[in-house]
Amino acid sequence: MVNGSLTTHVLNTVTGLPAAGVTVSLAQLQEPGPQWTELAQRRTDEDGRCLLAPGQVKAGTYKLRFETAAYWQGLGYTSFFPFVEVVFTNADPVQKLHIPLLISPYSYTTYRGS
């Protein structure tokens, strides 16, 4: 059986441009017990996108961690959120998942993309 993939796209809502160079890590919740195992770490490309897990996303609970403070500091801003964590459950191991993140120094929004 082929497993699905996971992509993300980070957009800077201050400038309306892609957020390039944001460090993103992917971890999976291990059962039993609340222990996370890191699976991948990437940086967004110049279009704010990255492929985190090609063919590796099985059914389970995952966490994306976006290192937003370092990104904003590089642009000369102070960030209220030092990082953003998005926890989600994948029930269908063959689906392609896309999780966009819209960021500003004082807010963030995410949703299940297509």
- Per residue in 40-60, pLDDT tens? 999 999 999 999 887 778 889
Residues (pLDDT < 70) of the chain are 1-2
Q: Which residues contact 64 (CB under 8 A, 6 or more apart)?
A: 8, 24, 25, 26, 52, 85, 86, 88, 99, 101
| Predicted local distance difference test score (pLDDT) of residue 32 | 75
The answer to whether residues 64 and 51 touch, using CB atoms and an 8 Å cutoff, is no
Domain 6-110 class in CATH: mainly beta
DSSP-derived 3-state class of residue 111? coil
Determine if the pTM surpasses 0.95.
no
d(CA 34, CA 24): 21
